[in-house]
Structure 1
Amino acid sequence: MTTADVSVSALASRWNGASRTADLAGPVHWVDFGAPDGDDRAPVVLVHGLGGSHLNWVRIAPALAEHRHVVALDLPGFGLSPSAGRRTTVRANARLLGRFIEEVLGRPSVLIGNSMGGMVSVLLVAQRPELVTGLGLVDLSLPLVRGHQDPLVAAEFALFSVPLLSSSYLERNRRRFTAEQQVRRTLDLCFADRSRIDPEVFDADIALAQHRSAVRGVDADFLGAARSLLRVLTRGRTYAAHLRSIQRPVLLVHGEQDRLVPFAAARATAAANPTWETLFLPGVGHVPQLETPELVLERLVPWLDGIRRG
């Protein structure tokens, strides 16, 4: 392992995260943020979104770890988990998440997923409900509501479904933009207010992006996940049925200025699932846990305390 690899693997250490690796038909990188003494409640597993990593959670994970055992994993094909021949579809990653809970943590867990990570968590509950004691869904991937799509986002996701064109588009962007420019473009899309971008998280994201620029197959891994996400969303009735069938406590968090998953979709989903708790955040974008961590924690911590002991 090179010095650069050691440095990248320790990116979360400044937020009290300890880097770990599990073998689940290939390496899976995960970060342990610790647990309070004597805690025997269900651990919390943080699941990132499309193109994300464990770094998507560093602004709330240390505070959550004061109350429960908290871990964040990199799904295969993202962060520091290579795909290593594994599929990166949302359904494949739901199965892998189940294996992580069973084989690494060893007991049912609370899942908190952002965007695609929320979808992966929902699919796991549909497959293996006994592994999950509660769901926190942060700007969950949802079917678009007609008339509320961001035109640029809609065009880019439509492009992802065209094999040759999407691959050349991603490759061209990698050559055109530096790692810092790529990270800034992503955060500008995901934040409603750019001034809320944390400089330390920004620097860590750049270091990870620089590392991933040398990893083979990252574009194919990304597109495999993106296309599978779109397939689930186009089968909206089946996905909606999965959401309605959840028999666990659910907290739906959504930024009202989300450009990727418009607030109208979250509002419609909340109306269709009236037993869920909700937290809607005005003036916030697609990653509330990074943009307004204090507001998220203010609601998330008591919600977690209300979930029965695992």
Structure 2
Amino acid sequence: MPIYTVNDQSIHVWEEGASDKQVALLIHGWSSSWFAMSPLFPILSRYRCLAVDLPGYGQSPKGDDPVSIVAYTDLLADLLRQVTDQPAVLIGHSMGGMISLTMSLRHPELIERMVLICPTISGRLSMFINMFLGPLVVLERVPFADRVTSLIETRIWRITDRVMKPASYAERSAISSEAHERIKADVRRPGQGQIRAECYRAMRENDLRGQLQKISHPSLYLWGMEDNTVPLRDASSVVAELPDADLRIIPNAGHWPHFEALVTTQRYVRAFLSTPIKLLKAQF
């Protein structure tokens, strides 16, 4: 698994596919890692897949600069310039969707098309998240409090474990216990409290409402019908600004439709990616 250095920042990448293929950049969400994008690998064999660990997550060290969605976006834009001279496919989940959309606004020349899975639009997240996890995340922003929470991390895990499933998955979710444990391990990664808190703030400060109509790249929006992390009101914002958006709502799925409803999600993504770009542009 290679590590790229971009502007003195090390970025750990899970990479698959030959170097001469078109790049598909896969961007995970909040409290996650490259693994969050792994269910899509089997249908991306035609691409050179780069699934990143954002700085501060997974095996990528946190950078020295303040965390912001724009900073993540510009860093990944420079990564794309380093690895390819052709427009790439962006596939973003949750906060990774917000980063993808921000790149579309700031660096449109780097992108061919986008797949956005439960993308954060307003940055406000759901009432459930804000009520149950928000106070803990805010506490983690304070350096001293972060040290205190590290000392009682096991007890905090018990709290987050109890609220994670209803926040993340549908009532009849088909996610496997193995996948849930791996996703939970990313949330539990030691020392991640500060970056988690900074990203919580960064998403709220990067509200994309009112800017979506500027996005011209063909895009597929996928949402779990029971998403209790990034609520469907954000999907409504997409439709309000992009009435012709290709938006698919997936039943029996929450915030992780690519794990919970894998076959349906793969079918939508495969159909979108296999459609010639000229036809997509004609439709959009």
Work out the CA distance in 1 between the residues paired with 2:98 and 2:53. Answer: 15
The equivalent of 1:227 in structure 2 is: 201
Code of the aligned partner of 2:222: V
The secondary structure found in structure 2 opposite 1:196 is: coil
Work out the CA distance in 2 between the residues paired with 1:169 and 1:259. Answer: 28
The equivalent of 1:82 in structure 2 is: 61
Report the CA distance shift for 1:207/1:161 in structure 2 as closer, same or farther (over 3 A). Answer: closer
Work out the CA distance in 2 between the residues paired with 1:181 and 1:157. Answer: 9
Report the CA distance shift for 1:250/1:150 in structure 2 as closer, same or farther (over 3 A). Answer: closer
Which residues in structure 2 correspond to 1:97-116 (within 5 Å)? 97-116=76-95
Q: Note the C-alpha offset of 1:256.
A: 1.2
Code of the aligned partner of 1:308: I
Report the CA distance shift for 1:231/1:89 in structure 2 as closer, same or farther (over 3 A). Answer: same
Work out the CA distance in 2 between the residues paired with 1:275 and 1:78. Answer: 35
Q: Note the C-alpha offset of 1:104.
A: 2.6
**C-alpha contact (below 8 Å) 1:111/1:132 kept by paired residues:** yes
Q: Note the C-alpha offset of 1:186.
A: 3.3
User: What's the Cα RMSD here?
Assistant: 3.0
- The runs of at least 4 consecutive aligned structure 1 residues that moved more than 6 Å come to none
**C-alpha contact (below 8 Å) 2:12/2:60 kept by paired residues:** yes
Identity %: 23
Work out the CA distance in 2 between the residues paired with 1:142 and 1:296. Answer: 20
The secondary structure found in structure 2 opposite 1:143 is: coil
Q: Structure 1, unaligned stretches of length 5 or more?
A: 1-18, 234-238
Which residues in structure 2 correspond to 1:140-289 (within 5 Å)? 140-143=119-122, 150-156=126-132, 158-159=134-135, 160-161=137-138, 163-164=141-142, 167=146, 171=150, 174-177=153-156, 186-193=164-171, 196-205=174-183, 212-213=189-190, 215=191, 218-233=192-207, 239-289=208-258
**C-alpha contact (below 8 Å) 2:223/2:248 kept by paired residues:** yes
Q: Note the C-alpha offset of 1:198.
A: 2.2
**C-alpha contact (below 8 Å) 2:224/2:251 kept by paired residues:** yes
Work out the CA distance in 2 between the residues paired with 1:60 and 1:278. Answer: 18
**C-alpha contact (below 8 Å) 2:32/2:183 kept by paired residues:** no
Work out the CA distance in 2 between the residues paired with 1:150 and 1:124. Answer: 24
| Equivalent residue in structure 1 for 2:5, among 23, 28, 32 | 23
The equivalent of 2:261 in structure 1 is: 292
**C-alpha contact (below 8 Å) 2:32/2:187 kept by paired residues:** no
**C-alpha contact (below 8 Å) 2:123/2:204 kept by paired residues:** no
Q: Deviation digits for residues 101-158 of structure 1, max 9, x if unmatched?
A: 111344321111111101111111111100111111110112389xxx8543122465
Work out the CA distance in 2 between the residues paired with 1:117 and 1:167. Answer: 25
Is 1:133 the counterpart of 2:116 in the alignment?
Answer: no
Q: Note the C-alpha offset of 1:28.
A: 0.4
Q: TM-score, normalised by structure 2?
A: 0.84
The secondary structure found in structure 2 opposite 1:232 is: coil
Q: Structure 2, unaligned stretches of length 5 or more?
A: 279-284
Q: Note the C-alpha offset of 1:26.
A: 2.1
Work out the CA distance in 2 between the residues paired with 1:173 and 1:303. Answer: 46
The equivalent of 1:3 in structure 2 is: none
Report the CA distance shift for 1:150/1:90 in structure 2 as closer, same or farther (over 3 A). Answer: closer
Work out the CA distance in 2 between the residues paired with 1:64 and 1:55. Answer: 15
The secondary structure found in structure 2 opposite 1:280 is: strand
Report the CA distance shift for 1:256/1:205 in structure 2 as closer, same or farther (over 3 A). Answer: closer
Work out the CA distance in 2 between the residues paired with 1:265 and 1:222. Answer: 21
